[in-house]
């Protein structure tokens, strides 16, 4: 059936605004050559050509094999290499009429030009691969306020284009006012596009309206939803009302009809949704999460639209903090397997996640959380400065399972653990690189999204100034690990048991004199130690076990090698 007028106002407005683009940029030029002498027999005089053009406009050629004579077949081969032609016709692209051919793999077009007196003709053939096309729409001109009908102008293809590290949408207009002509092209293109299996058709979307500068909904509405509509993706949107809202929906709802889950927010939202998806998978598979279970993979891929303040997970999987790039990865169905950690205490699963920090990282977050009344940037800077001022090492027993040791030895797993006891300013465990503007190469630059291992980065006891130098190097070209007190390991599992007598509640006691007047709630529980797990505060009463689970989750995105350039400098230290 001939679709259109476009279904929603938003879509109409979007599509019609594309009509303003009178000239289409050239896309993927394939040949600039001379097709003169060889093609002489086929070349028509301008009058003949006009007739052909008129005929094609009212009657597009469906390219059944028998519809081409031998010579035509040869010329088609030149266009398509090996691809069978499906339909061929004439469209105006930009200001010129073009001979346009659809095959199952691409749309190819070349301008129809009169022959020169010498018979030489330079033809610029261009094409767009259908694997890069995510939408096709009928293009109509409508007057202001008109919602249906309108003059048919042709069809528009929407292409996903790579520009540096970004993905962008790009419209290519094929103008032809014949309804029959456009109908055939539209139907054929739709058929091909709907056959791409990885591309989602229905998504569950969570938008956290409280993320960062409270712009998540606007980002979704303006940058993402119109692209989903162009790609004919149905989006079931929940605007979360509180922490844990997305988690409870994922735990309890029927997710059968969805091809993926999308979160619009920051790392805290991503962590909540990733944990929800993974926990749901364990529940569905009957895993006992109160034991040393082997987790099953999440069934649905997760898309991340960055709208938070750090967006480390989104940056690690897209290489850039750019909502349109993130949306295009979802639409095109780019899948990236990602390693995930589980965090358990006393044999019980606390949560799934990507990264954890103990010591400086945990204390800073705990302090920032207690000052939620401050604006986010100010709160973080305050917490970093205050924690640095009170910098104290943690007395811990740190054990880890190094990757090499387990691979090369067939020992009892317990004997493979390496254990050290000592004072640590900070201990980080990261399953993914954790790229962010403050650490453009990543907090763990030597780990990859799915290399089957985690980075353990332990900063031992050192002076405040040495520790600050180490932190500052995350935002510079110098190696942040080339300090004698910093040790890195590639590991499969980590156990950390704090042995300090003083828990982080001591920091609160120190802090209370100054901040009681603000009525800041004390969120610590006696004897619990603060961990920063994906930007979320996790209070752990005793030893925490962190295990790596290779490729447990699929994200929409690609593995990137290059980090986003740091545009924002960290001014807090």
Q: Does 316 bind ligand ATP (CB under 6 A)?
A: no
Q: Does 564 bind ligand ATP (CB under 6 A)?
A: no
CB nearer to ligand ATP: pick between 6 and 307? 307
Q: Does 15 bind ligand ATP (CB under 6 A)?
A: no
What residues contact residue 453 under an 8 Å CB cut-off, 6+ apart? Answer: 339, 403, 447, 490, 491, 492, 548
Q: Does 570 bind ligand ATP (CB under 6 A)?
A: no
Backbone angles phi, psi at 218, to 5 degrees: -65, -40
- The least CB distance from residue 207 to ligand ATP, in Å, is 9
CA–CA distance, 221 with 215 (Å, rounded to integer)? 10
Q: Does 310 bind ligand ATP (CB under 6 A)?
A: yes
Among 132, 267, 339, 369, binds ligand ATP (CB under 6 A): 267
Q: One symbol per residue from 325 to 364: x for binding ligand ATP (CB under 6 A), - otherwise; what is it?
A: ----------------------------------------
CB nearer to ligand ATP: pick between 150 and 268? 268
> Which residue of the chain is nearest ligand ATP when measured via CB?
266
- Residues between 516 and 555 that touch ligand ATP (CB under 6 A): 535-536
Q: One symbol per residue from 483 to 522: x for binding ligand ATP (CB under 6 A), - otherwise; what is it?
A: ----------------------------------------
Choose among 230, 226, 206: nearest CA to 216: 206
- Residues between 192 and 221 that touch ligand ATP (CB under 6 A): 208-212
Question: 275 burial class (0-12, 13-18, 19+ CB within 10 angstroms)?
Answer: buried
Report strand pairing: 151-163 vs 348-353.
unpaired
Q: Does 176 bind ligand ATP (CB under 6 A)?
A: no
- Between CA 352 and CA 359, with CA 355 as vertex, the angle to 5 degrees is 115
Choose among 418, 417, 413, 448: nearest CA to 430: 448
Backbone angles phi, psi at 382, to 5 degrees: -60, -45
Q: Which helix (H) or strand (E) holds 269?
A: helix 267-284
What residues contact residue 13 under an 8 Å CB cut-off, 6+ apart? Answer: none
Q: Does 318 bind ligand ATP (CB under 6 A)?
A: no
CB nearer to ligand ATP: pick between 312 and 493? 312
CA–CA distance, 224 with 239 (Å, rounded to integer)? 15
- The least CB distance from residue 319 to ligand ATP, in Å, is 16
Stretches 260-268, 338-346, 412-420, 443-451: which one binds ligand ATP (CB under 6 A)? Answer: 260-268
Beta strands (DSSP E) in 367-408 are 394-402
Q: Which helix (H) or strand (E) holds 427?
A: strand 418-430
Q: One symbol per residue from 365 to 404: x for binding ligand ATP (CB under 6 A), - otherwise; what is it?
A: -----------x----------------------------
Among 81, 241, 284, 562, binds ligand ATP (CB under 6 A): 241
- The least CB distance from residue 85 to ligand ATP, in Å, is 49
Q: Could you tell me how far CA 256 lies from the centroid of its own chain?
A: 22
The count of residues interacting with ligand ATP (CB under 6 A) is 23
Backbone angles phi, psi at 536, to 5 degrees: -105, 140
Which parts of this chain interact with ligand ATP (CB under 6 A)?
208-212, 240-243, 245, 265-269, 272, 308-311, 376, 535-536
């Amino acid at each position: 059936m001939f679709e259109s007028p476009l279904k929603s106002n938003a879509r109409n407005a979007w599509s019609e605004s594309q009509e303003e683009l009178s000239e289409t940029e050239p896309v993927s030029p394939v040949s600039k050559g001379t097709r003169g002498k060889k093609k002489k027999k086929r070349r028509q005089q301008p009058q003949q050509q006009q007739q052909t053009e008129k005929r094609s406009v009212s009657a597009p050629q469906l390219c059944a094999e028998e519809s081409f004579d031998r010579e035509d077949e040869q010329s088609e081969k030149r266009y398509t290499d090996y691809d069978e032609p499906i339909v061929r016709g004439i469209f105006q692209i930009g200001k010129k009429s073009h001979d346009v051919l659809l095959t199952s793999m691409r749309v190819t077009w070349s301008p129809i030009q009169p022959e020169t007196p010498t018979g030489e003709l330079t033809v610029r053939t261009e094409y767009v691969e259908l694997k890069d096309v995510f939408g096709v729409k009928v293009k109509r001109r409508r007057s202001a306020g008109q919602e249906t009908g309108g003059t048919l102008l042709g069809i528009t293809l929407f292409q996903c284009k790579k520009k540096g590290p970004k993905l962008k949408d790009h419209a290519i207009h094929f103008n032809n006012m014949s309804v029959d002509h456009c109908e055939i092209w539209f139907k054929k293109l739709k058929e091909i596009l709907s056959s791409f299996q990885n591309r989602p058709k229905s998504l569950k979307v969570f938008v956290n309206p409280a993320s960062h500068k409270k712009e998540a909904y606007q980002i979704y509405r303006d940058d993402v939803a119109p692209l989903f509509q162009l790609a004919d993706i149905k989006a079931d949107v929940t605007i979360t009302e509180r922490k844990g809202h997305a988690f409870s929906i994922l735990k309890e709802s029927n997710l059968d009809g969805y091809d993926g889950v999308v979160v619009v927010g920051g790392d805290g939202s991503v962590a909540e949704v990733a944990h929800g998806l993974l926990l749901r998978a364990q529940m569905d598979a009957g895993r006992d999460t109160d034991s040393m279970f082997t987790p099953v993979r999440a069934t649905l891929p997760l898309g991340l639209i960055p709208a938070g303040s750090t967006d480390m997970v989104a940056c690690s999987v897209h290489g850039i903090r750019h909502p349109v790039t993130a949306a295009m990865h979802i639409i095109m169905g780019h899948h990236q397997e990602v390693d995930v950690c589980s965090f358990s205490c006393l044999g019980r699963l606390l949560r799934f996640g990507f990264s954890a920090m103990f010591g400086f990282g945990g204390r800073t977050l705990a302090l920032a959380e207690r000052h939620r009344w401050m604006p986010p940037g100010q709160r973080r800077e305050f917490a970093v400065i205050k924690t640095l001022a009170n910098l104290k090492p943690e007395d811990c027993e740190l054990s880890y399972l190094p990757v090499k040791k387990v691979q090369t030895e067939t020992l009892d797993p317990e004997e493979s653990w390496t254990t050290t006891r000592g004072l640590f300013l900070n201990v980080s465990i990261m399953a993914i690189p954790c790229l962010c503007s403050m650490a453009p190469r990543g907090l763990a630059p030597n780990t990859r999204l799915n290399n089957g291992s985690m980075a353990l980065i332990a900063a031992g006891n050192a002076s405040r100034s040495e520790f600050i130098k180490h932190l500052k190097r995350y935002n510079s070209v110098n190696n942040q690990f080339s300090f004698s007190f910093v040790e890195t390991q590639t590991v499969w599992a980590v156990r950390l048991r704090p042995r300090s007598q003083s828990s982080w509640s001591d920091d609160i006691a120190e802090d209370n004199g100054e901040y009681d007047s603000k009525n800041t709630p004390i969120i610590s529980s006696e004897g619990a130690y603060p961990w920063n797990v994906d930007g979320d505060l996790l209070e752990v009463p005793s030893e925490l076990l962190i295990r790596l689970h290779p490729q447990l989750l699929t994200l929409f995105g690609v593995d990137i090698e290059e980090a986003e350039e740091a545009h924002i400098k960290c001014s807090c230290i």
